[in-house]
Chain A
Amino acid sequence: DVVMTQSPLSLPVTLGQPASISCRSSQSLVGSDGNTYLNWFQQRPGQSPRRLIYKVSNRDSGVPDRFSGSGSGTDFTLKISRVEAEDVGIYYCMQGSHWPPWTFGQGTKVEIK
């Protein structure tokens, strides 16, 4: 199974400041078709998850452009250029390149300082 490891697990940030979350996989996420199936999800308190980024760096419709994804192979990053109050929540990476099982990271809790 591919193990997804996020860091940090807790991220206090100041409003308007940038934030960065790392996600590392136990093996390369380049799939047999050459695509890298690494997604990022946001879960606000009391809500269902919402996908922000698919295939490493593609923003979903309606996702603010302050969110960006990057990386390759085994190392991936979600960046928030300027944190807003509505960004509070837990962020998860998830891989779909080597399945089953599909696997999530442990989650990173973003809170405002």
Chain B
Amino acid sequence: EVQLVESGGGLVQPGGSLRLSCAASGFTFSHYWMHWVRQAPGKGLVWVSHINSDGSDTTYADSVKGRFTISRDNAKNMLYLQMNSLRAEDTAVYYCTDPFADVDFWGQGTLVTVSS
């Protein structure tokens, strides 16, 4: 069974940092590009970042460029998102996924709340 489990969310003060993790199972993780997508409370889906299958190429939305870093460990089937200099507008549920994979997979999401 294909499964993605995000973790690492929580309450953090503006300017703080968090590291999100996504544990993958049930598929050959190392073959897939991976993305982080977020959804602010009551709002739509927004793409955040992508990493290619071997981790050699990454891209970011302008809103997080320079603050967030995506990475992966294919030996552990893990995807990460290091989030620094967090702002109130980063408050959202963060999902790991590959929207254009040959099969559909999304995690349950992890909530990040940036507030003092």
Contact = CB atoms under 8 A, between A and B. Distances in A.
Interface of A: 37, 39, 41, 43, 48-51, 54, 60-61, 90, 92, 94, 96, 99-107
Contacts, number: 57
Contact of B99 (A51, A61, A90, A107): A51
Contact of B44 (A37, A48, A106): A106
A104 B45 contact: yes
B: contact size bracket = 20 to 34
Interface stretch (B17-25, B71-79, B80-88, B102-110): B102-110
Contact of B106 (A50, A101, A102, A103): A50
Given A94-B45, A103-B47, A107-B45, A48 B95 contact: yes
- Secondary structure dominating the interface of A: loop
Given A101-B47, A103-B47, A48 B109 contact: yes
Contact of A49 (B61, B62, B106): B106
B63 to A, nearest CB: 10
A100 B44 contact: no
18 contacts: A41-B99, A48-B95, A48-B106, A48-B108, A48-B109, A49-B45, A49-B95, A50-B106, A54-B100, A61-B104, A90-B44, A92-B44, A100-B50, A100-B60, A100-B61, A102-B99, A105-B44, A107-B44
